[in-house]
A and B are shown apart, each in its own frame.
Chain A
Amino acid sequence: MSNELLRVEHVTKSYGKTVANRDISFAVNAGETAVLLGPNGAGKSTIIKCISGLLRFKGEIFIGGEPNKSLAAKRRLGYIPEMPAVYDLLTVAEHLEFIRRAWRMDDDGYGDALLERLELADKRGKLGRELSKGMQQKLSIACAMVHRPDVLIFDEPLVGLDPHAIKELKAIFRELRAEGRAVLISTHMIDSVEDYWDVAHIMMNGEFAATLRASDAGGQDLEELFFAITEGGEQA
C-alpha cells in the first residue's frame, strides 16, 4: 500500500445525465507502468483530466498520498495532455525556465538534456507558435518531465511524434519505470505499449471492463487480450 504513488478511489464523473466515468478505482505503484486502453469515448481522457485536477468528480484521488488538487500533490505530478498547447510567445528554453520557476527548482541541466534527447536543442530560441505540432508535443513532454515528478500521466503521447521521438519516448518510459516513478499512459496504439506495460486497464462505456497484469498474461500479447475483451471474444 505504501508503494502506491497514484490512487484512484471510486471516481465517478458525470456531465448532466451522461456518466463519463463510473466508479473507477485503481492504483499505480512506484516503478510501475499502467496503461489505459479502450475505444473512442470509453472515458480514458476524462479520468486523466480528473487525476490531473482539471475536472470535479465524486470519489477520491491521491498523488503520493495527498489529495490530487492540493499543491503538494501537484508538485509531484507531470501531465502530458492530449492536445499539446504551448505558449505562443515563449521560446522553447523559456518554457523550461517557466516550469523550473513554477516548481521552484534550480537549473540542474536536466532540461537541456531532455531537449537534446528530443531533438529540440537547436530550437531553444524558437517561439512556441513557430513549432510544428510534433515539436509542440515534444516540448510538452519535456515540460512535464523537467521537474522530475514522481507520477507522470501521458494522454495519447505518441500522436504526432516522429520515429526518433517515438523511440526516445519508449526508452524514457522504461527509464522512468527503472527510476521508480509511477507512469500512467492512455493510448489507442496498443502495440506502442506492448513492450513495457505492467498493468492494463481496459475501459468501455466509462467503466473498467478488465484489468490485466503482464505477469499473468502468460505470454499472450496485449492486442489479443484487448480484442478478446472489447469485441466479445473469449477472454484468454
Chain B
Amino acid sequence: MSALAYLTLATLKNRLRGVLRSPVKLLYGVIVIALLAVVVFIGGAGEDGDGSAAPNSQLGAIAVGYFALMFLMTANSGFSTGMSVFKMPDVNFLFAGPFRPLRVLFHGMLNQMATALIMAVVILFQYGWMHTSYGVGFGGLLIFVLGYGLAVFTGQLTAMVIYCLSSGRERVRKALRFAYVAVTALWVLYLGWRALGAESALDGLCDAMVDPIGRLFPVAGWLGAASYEALLGNYAPAALLTLLWAAYSAAIIIVMARADQDYYEDVLQSTETAFLTQAAAKEGRIADTAPKNVSVGKTGLGGGFGASAFYYKHRVENRRSRKWLLSGIELVFIIANLGFAFFVRDTGIVAPLAFAAYLMFFYVATGRLMKEMTKPYVYLVPEPPTKKLLWCLRESAAGYAASALLCFGPMCFYVEAPLASIAAAAVAYFSYAYLFVAGNLVTERVFGGVTVKALVFLFYFIVLILMAAPGVAAAIFASFVLPEWTALLLLAGVNALVTLLGVFLCRNILASAELNI
C-alpha cells in the first residue's frame, strides 16, 4: 500500500473508531439520524393526496441559486487569503517528503471533496418541504447533495487556482477579478432582464435560471441544472451538463499542474493561516479578522471611563481591523432580504421580516464580546459585570441599526405595506439582533462546557426558538385586535424584555474565565 493510501485509510479508520468510542459524538449522531428520520416521516405525511407535487423551474432555480451563492463565496476567497485543500501536517510531512507535487495535490483534493460531501448532508434536512412542494424523493435529494458537494468542492479548486495564479501578480489578479465580476454581472443582468420582462417576476427569474442561457453560468449553473434535469428524468441534458463540469474541473487541475508544479509556496500561507486560526480556537482564543496590513491611524481611545472603556476600545479595534458598520457577508444577506421582499412584495411586510430574522440567525455575532471574554481584562476590571456586559454589547448597535435601515428602507418603495408597518418591522428586526445575541450568551452560560460544538449549535437553535416564542405569540394575539404596526412594535418590545432578562441572567458570565468559548 502506498504511503498516501495508508494515510487516508488510517485516518478514516481512526475517525470511525473515535465516533464509536465517544458517547457524546454517538449521541450527536443518533440525534442527527433521528431528526432526519422525523423530517422524512413528516415530509412523507405531508404529501398531497393526489401526488400532484412535481419538480418545476422553481426547484431548478433554488438549486442553481444556492449552488451559485456557495460557489461564488468559496471561489472569491482565492482573491484574498486563498483556499487550501491542505492541512498543516500535509505541509510538514508531505511537502517536505519524497512525493511528487501532483500526487500530493490529488491527495489534498480527494480529502477536500470528501469533506465537501459530508458538509452537504445538511441538505438532507430539507427533505420535508422539497418533498411536499416539489415531490422530490430521497433519491432526488441525494442528487442535490451530490450537486451541492461538487459545487463547493469546485469552488475550492477555483479559489486555489485563482490564488496560485494571482498571488504576488497584481495584473493577473486584476484580470481574474474582472473576469469573475463580469461573468457574474452578465448572468445577474440576464436574470434581472428576464424577471422584469415576465408577467410574474418570480416565475420569470426561475425560468431564466434553468433556461439554456441561465444554466450556462459556470459550475453552479451546470451542476444546478444537471440536478434539476436528472430529477425530471431528462438524463441526456443532465449528462451533458455534468460533462461540462467535469471538463472545467479537469481544465482547472491541468492549469494548476502545468502552470505551476511548484505550488507549495502558494498554498503555504493559507494553510498556515487556517492552522493558526484552528489552534487559536482550540485554545479558547478567537483569532481577529484584522487585515494583514493594519493602519494604526489616530491613536488613543478617545473616551470611556470604567466599563465604558471597553466600548471605546472596541471602536478603535474595529477601525483598525477595517470593520465598519457592516461586513461583506451582512451586505450579501441584506441583498438577499431585499430580493426576497421583492418577490413577495404583494403579501405585506411580515414575510420579509420573518425571512430577514431567519437569515440573521446565520450571521448575527456578538461582536468583540466573545473575543474579549478570552482575555483576562474584562474579568479583572473592577466594575459591575452587567454594566461591562452591556458596554461590550453596545459596539454592535450601530451595525444592527444600519442593517435594519438598509433592509427595510428600500422596501418602503416596493413592498405593499403601510410605512408605519415597515418602520415597525425595522425596529422588530433590530430587536431580533439583540435577542439572538442574548441567546448566544445564554447558550454559552448554560452549555458552554459541552465540548462537541455541533451539539452546542443545536442547543443554541433550541434556545433561540424558546426566546423568540414570547414575542411571536404576543404579536399574533395582538394582531387580532390591533393594527399591524402596533403588533410589530409589541413584538419588538417583548423581544427587548426577553433580551434584557437573558443578559441579566447571564451577568455572572464575567465572574469566571472558565467558559469553553
Contacts and interface: CB of A to CB of B under 8 A. Distances in A.
Interface of A: 15-16, 49, 52-56, 69, 71, 74-75, 77, 79, 81, 83-91, 94, 97-99, 101-103, 127-128, 140, 143
A15 B269 CA distance: 12
Interface in B92-139: 92-93, 95-100
Nearest to A76: B98
When A and B form their complex, which 10 residue pairs have the shortest distance between CB atoms, in order from nearest?
Answer: A85-B88, A102-B3, A101-B3, A89-B14, A79-B96, A89-B11, A74-B98, A87-B89, A55-B265, A75-B98
B346 interface: no
20 contacts: A15-B168, A54-B96, A54-B264, A54-B265, A55-B264, A55-B268, A56-B262, A83-B272, A85-B91, A85-B92, A86-B92, A87-B93, A90-B14, A94-B14, A98-B3, A101-B2, A102-B97, A102-B99, A127-B14, A127-B18
- Centre residue among B15, B18, B96, B268 by max chain A CB count within 10 A: B96
Contacts, number: 90
Contacts of A86: 89, 92
A98 B98 contact: no
A98 B265 contact: no
B190 interface: no
Contacts of A75: 98
Nearest to A133: B279
A140 B92 contact: yes
Contacts of A91: 14
A54 B94 CA distance: 10
Interface residues of B, number: 29
Given A79-B96, A85-B91, A87-B11, 10 more contacts: A54-B95, A54-B264, A56-B265, A71-B100, A81-B91, A85-B92, A87-B89, A88-B89, A98-B6, A99-B3
Interface of B: 1-3, 6-7, 10-11, 14-15, 18, 87-89, 91-93, 95-100, 168, 262, 264-265, 268, 272, 275
Nearest to B168: A16
Given A54-B264, A86-B89, A94 B272 contact: no
Contact of A143 (B2, B93, B100): B93
B12 to A, nearest CB: 8
A94 B99 CA distance: 18
Nearest to A128: B89
A120 B27 CA distance: 32
Contacts of A97: 6, 10
A90 B96 contact: no
Contacts of A53: 95-96, 264
A77 B96 contact: yes
A114 B349 CA distance: 69
A103 B11 contact: no
A74 B275 contact: no
A97 B99 CA distance: 16
Contacts of B168: 15-16
A85 B11 CA distance: 15
A54 B97 CA distance: 11
Contact of A74 (B11, B97, B268): B97
A153 to B, nearest CB: 9
A74 B272 contact: no
Contacts of B100: 71
Nearest to B271: A85
A128 B10 CA distance: 12
B96 A74 contact: yes
A56 B266 CA distance: 9
Contacts of B96: 52-54, 74, 77, 79, 81
A103 B93 CA distance: 11
Contacts of B98: 71, 74-75, 102-103
A106 B2 CA distance: 13
Given A85-B88, A85-B91, A85-B92, A90 B265 contact: no
